Amino acid sequence: MTPPAVFPPSATDGLGTRPFGVYVHVPFCASRCGYCDFNTYTASELEGSGASPAGWLEAVRRELDLAVEVLGGSGRVPAADTVFVGGGTPSLLGAAGLTDVLDAVRTTFGLAEGAEVTTEANPESTSPEFFAGLAEAGYTRVSLGMQSAAPGVLAVLDRRHTPGRPVAAAREARAGGIDQVSLDLIYGTPGETDDDLRASLDAVLSAGVDHVSAYALIVEDGTALARRIRRGELAAPVDDVAADRYELVDDVLSKSGMAWYEVSNWSTSDATRCRHNLGYWGDGDWWGAGPGAHGHIGGVRWWNVKHPARYAAALADGGSPEAGREQLTADERHEERVLLGVRLAEGLRLSSLGDGGRAAAVRAAEDGLLDTSSLAAGRAVLTRRGRLLADAVVRALLEC
């Protein structure tokens, strides 16, 4: 049995002075999409392991109780400013299961006034009743995995929903009382054309959502997609094509009134940005509950065992599900702040960089990668070309 780890006062002293979030990982999917390497399992993969949604929920309740205890008790922990139930496929739990998850957060950390409460959902496991149930339970935001509206692209991605289902689900969510609705897109899939992406963007706009996340397809090792590409059945994604598609996404969304606020995220206003993810990117604190979940509090980062059966067994024994942790050094924390902060539209304060980083910022602006007027105002803000080359800009800014 792993005893619960103790947090040093240096990590917990500022608790509650920074945004505090709770992430809950739901490790179940109806089927595995060919491109996905998230920590998630189908029913047949879990057969014989003893893991089940009911066992998982009980274990999450225990983990949240333990979290409050190790952070100093119920009088001392901050209420959650944001909750994010992610996966996997949280919508497989239904509205009743997701109500139980939120109740577990309410009775442990509690919810701050005006908390943002998000769940991810797969369009095919939603309905008007599902969304009404979520709104009733206190969910304020839903993020739907749309990926594409083009049938051929959905087939390559192994997605099960019909092309029109995500838009219908987004409308049902709004009608059911969910204030904020986001759609996820993937671009650069082998075989996708510009017109396919345009059709997906038209569909997104017709759904009337307030937030879009758009990701270039990543070929993850060990996935069915990687095997198909290795066997020559599918072409590998091409970086230049992905860059052109990113520009298309940005053009269409910005013309429709959505502005980028993080390299892969657009919203209709500051109020409709995802506050939970802003916490991740802005050095916030969060407890990550569930199999394989990661947490971060004041420079201490930890992660749980990945398999749902091992996760539940660790907690049933009265122990902690933690698999490892690290205390970030001041240098590592600085690197994280630069890595994540520069991807935000508000950018980074130049005064937070070393001499080498500030000189690199001037060169990056000369190369058209950082915005010159923001630089003059003391901030490093990516231009659109810079957003396409964000990793290279980060490396340069980290020069001493």
Ligand X SMILES: C[S@@+](CC[C@H](N)C(=O)[O-])C[C@H]1O[C@@H](n2cnc3c(N)ncnc32)[C@H](O)[C@@H]1O
Residue of the chain from 97, 145, 288, 291 that contacts ligand SF4 (CB under 6 A): 145
Q: How many residues bind ligand X (CB under 6 A)?
A: 16
Nearest to residue 90, comparing CAs of 289, 287, 275? 289
169 scored as a contact of ligand SF4 (CB under 6 A): no
Radius of gyration of the chain (CA): 21
143 scored as a contact of ligand SF4 (CB under 6 A): no
CA 214 – CA 195 distance, rounded (Å): 16
Binding site partner of 186, from ligand SF4, ligand X, none, Cβ cut-off 5-8 A by kind: ligand X
DSSP-based three-state secondary structure for 313: helix
- Contact stretch for ligand SF4 (CB under 6 A) within 26-34, 167-175, 329-337, 368-376: 26-34
DSSP-based three-state secondary structure for 85: strand
CA 121 – CA 101 distance, rounded (Å): 14
What residues contact 317, with CB distance under 8 A and at least 6 apart? 1
- Contact stretch for ligand X (CB under 6 A) within 32-40, 107-115, 271-279, 297-305: 32-40
306 scored as a contact of ligand SF4 (CB under 6 A): no
122 scored as a contact of ligand X (CB under 6 A): yes
Of the pair 150, 252, the CB lying nearest ligand SF4 is at 150
> Up-side HSE of residue 236: CA atoms within 13 Å toward CB?
10
Residue of the chain from 145, 163, 341, 347 that contacts ligand X (CB under 6 A): 145
In the complex, least distance from residue 220 CB atom to ligand X, rounded to whole angstroms? 5
With contact defined as beta carbons under 8 Å apart, do 123 and 161 qualify? yes
- Contact stretch for ligand X (CB under 6 A) within 2-10, 48-56, 81-89, 340-348: 81-89
Residue of the chain from 79, 132, 199, 218 that contacts ligand X (CB under 6 A): 218
What residues contact 23, with CB distance under 8 A and at least 6 apart? 83, 84, 85, 86, 276, 286, 287, 288, 289, 290, 293, 294, 295
Local structure of residue 352 (DSSP, 8 states):
G
29 scored as a contact of ligand SF4 (CB under 6 A): yes
146 scored as a contact of ligand SF4 (CB under 6 A): no
CA 266 – CA 44 distance, rounded (Å): 37
Binding site partner of 218, from ligand X, ligand SF4, none, Cβ cut-off 5-8 A by kind: ligand X
Of the pair 89, 272, the CB lying nearest ligand SF4 is at 89
Kindly write out the interface string for residues 83-102 of this chain, putting x where it contacts ligand X by CB under 6 A and - elsewhere. ---xx-x-------------
Residues 32, 38, 43, 49: what is their CA dihedral angle, to the nearest 10 degrees? Answer: 140
Burial of 54 (0-12, 13-18, 19+ CB in 10 A): exposed
262 scored as a contact of ligand X (CB under 6 A): no
123 scored as a contact of ligand SF4 (CB under 6 A): no
CA 206 – CA 168 distance, rounded (Å): 10
Of the pair 89, 383, the CB lying nearest ligand X is at 89
Of the pair 40, 182, the CB lying nearest ligand SF4 is at 40
Binding site partner of 184, from ligand SF4, ligand X, none, Cβ cut-off 5-8 A by kind: ligand X
Binding site partner of 217, from ligand SF4, ligand X, none, Cβ cut-off 5-8 A by kind: ligand X
Q: How many residues bind ligand SF4 (CB under 6 A)?
A: 11
Nearest to residue 112, comparing CAs of 298, 264, 275? 275
Helix or strand holding residue 83 (H, E): strand 80-87
CA 241 – CA 237 distance, rounded (Å): 8
122 scored as a contact of ligand SF4 (CB under 6 A): yes
CA angle at residue 140 from 66 to 42, to 5 degrees? 60
Residue of the chain from 120, 172, 285, 322 that contacts ligand X (CB under 6 A): 120
DSSP-based three-state secondary structure for 343: coil
- Contact stretch for ligand X (CB under 6 A) within 10-18, 214-222, 268-276, 359-367: 214-222
Binding site for ligand SF4 (CB under 6 A): 29, 32-33, 36, 38, 40, 87-89, 122, 145
